[in-house]
Amino acid sequence: MNWVTKMFSSSIGQKFIMALTGLFLCSFLVIHMVGNLQLFKADDGLAFNTYAVFMTTFPVIKFVSYVLYASIIFHAIKGLMLVSKNNKARPVKYAVQNGAANSHWTSRSMGILGTLVLVFIVIHMKNFWFEYKFGHEVGYTSYFTNIATGETGSRAMEAEYKQHNKIEETMVSSPDGQQYKIVVVKDLYKEVATEFKEWWLVALYVLCMFAVAFHLYHGFQSAFQTLGINHSKYNGLIKFIGIWVFSVLIPAGFAAMPIFFFFK
Ligand code: HEM
């Protein structure tokens, strides 16, 4: 048995890979959050749509996306297996269950919290990722930017308009000699803005961000413990990032997006 097979089959090895995939998913969330901040720009979605094309067509990022999908699947399956193994190992509940004395409730609820996050990811990917890549609902918008003034306007294309690429850029001159950059791009921004006009979807997203917050409250710090990164010098920083970045800032930032579009 070589070390790779050993790693995948031993329970320590599996926890190790869960920690690594978990931290990789955390780093994805940071990038996803920063990228999605473009949704707040008052440019009718030009920056966000251009960013979405880059993220879905640049070869290195496309490759990282496949690693991401594999990580989500592995992390979810192994996590559920671990929960079921732990439950089987202790089939009879203690007569007096005083979990709070030994552990935080988030650590005892990682299975249910993780399942909620997984359900969210499935719904979320169906709404945006699937529609953008394979669906028929995402149309095209044409943006025209005056090169001299930087002013940008936009116009939605006909519903049945289709083009080979997600983005096409051209330069044109108007009769009065003004130069314009024309960008025709697949309008994912409009899809996001339209979806978040549904109050129940906004409510679902906001609720699911609590599950993300509580899952990461325990998960981020626990991953470092599993990897053996446990030193009084760094523990404070890891705890700070786990709580303030991953269980407050990131979920709150994501929750702000549907709320912003609902009231826009
Ligand atoms: C609530 C605010 C959020 C918004 C507005 C948003 C928006 C989007 C959009 C528009 C896409 C499709 C674009 C693409 O394929 O790159 C996408 C993809 C994705 N989102 Fe989100 N997202 C949000 C939160 C989240 C959260 C909290 C998670 C995870 C817990 C998540 C996980 C994913 C994944 C895994 C993909 C597929 C990424 C890929 O194909 O590389 N998103 N998101």
For residues 162 and 201, membership in a common domain is answered with no
Looking only at the bridges linking them, the beta strands covering 167-173 and 152-156 are unpaired
First to last CA, the chain: 58
Angle at 23 between CA 78 and CA 189, to 5 degrees: 100
Nearest CA to ligand 1 atom 12: 129
For residues 145 and 241, membership in a common domain is answered with no
CA–CA gap between residue 38 and residue 45 (Å, rounded): 8
For residues 113 and 132, membership in a common domain is answered with yes
For residues 206 and 240, membership in a common domain is answered with yes
Residues of the chain with confidence (pLDDT) below 70? 1, 91-101
Closest C-alpha to 146, from 116, 114, 176: 176
Per-residue model confidence (pLDDT) at position 99: 55
For residues 96 and 179, membership in a common domain is answered with no
For residues 199 and 182, membership in a common domain is answered with no
For residues 129 and 213, membership in a common domain is answered with yes
For residues 159 and 105, membership in a common domain is answered with no
Strand blocks (E) in the chain = 140-146, 152-156, 167-173, 179-186
Per-residue model confidence (pLDDT) at position 121: 98
Per-residue model confidence (pLDDT) at position 230: 84
Residue 113 belongs to domain with CATH number: 1.20.1300
For residues 109 and 55, membership in a common domain is answered with yes
**Which atom of ligand 1 has the smallest separation from the CA of 250?**
27
Per-residue model confidence (pLDDT) at position 238: 97
Per-residue model confidence (pLDDT) at position 196: 98
Tell me which residue range forms the domain holding 35: 3-137+195-263
Please give the backbone phi and psi of residue 143, each rounded to the nearest 5 degrees, phi first.
Answer: -110, 135
CA of 121 to the centre of ligand 1 (A): 8
Of 156, 186, 216, which one is at a domain's C-terminal end? 186
Total tally of structural domains belonging to the chain: 2
Query: Any residues with CB less than 8 A from the CB of 179 and at least 6 apart, and which?
Result: 146, 147, 148, 171, 172, 173
Of 129, 158, 186, which one is at a domain's C-terminal end? 186
CA of 36 to the centre of ligand 1 (A): 8
Of 186, 221, 244, which one is at a domain's C-terminal end? 186
CA of 192 to the centre of ligand 1 (A): 11
For residues 89 and 177, membership in a common domain is answered with no
Per-residue model confidence (pLDDT) at position 96: 47
For residues 50 and 107, membership in a common domain is answered with yes
CA of 243 to the centre of ligand 1 (A): 22
Query: Any residues with CB less than 8 A from the CB of 141 and at least 6 apart, and which?
Result: 44, 45, 49, 154, 155, 156, 157, 184, 185, 187, 190
Out of 27, 32, 198, 245, mutate this one to test ligand 1's pocket (max ligand atoms within 8 Å of CB): namely 32
Ligand 1 pocket (Cβ < 6 Å) reads: 32, 36, 52, 55-56, 65, 68, 117, 121, 124-125, 128-129, 132, 188, 192, 205, 212, 254, 257-258
Per-residue model confidence (pLDDT) at position 3: 75
For residues 203 and 239, membership in a common domain is answered with yes
CA of 143 to the centre of ligand 1 (A): 24
- Exposure of 243 in the CB half-sphere (CA atoms within 13 A): 5
Query: Any residues with CB less than 8 A from the CB of 117 and at least 6 apart, and which?
Result: 208, 211, 212, 215
Per-residue model confidence (pLDDT) at position 23: 98
Q: Which amino acid is at 26?
A: C
Helix (H, G, I), strand (E, B) or coil at 98: coil
CB atoms within 10 A of CB 139: 16
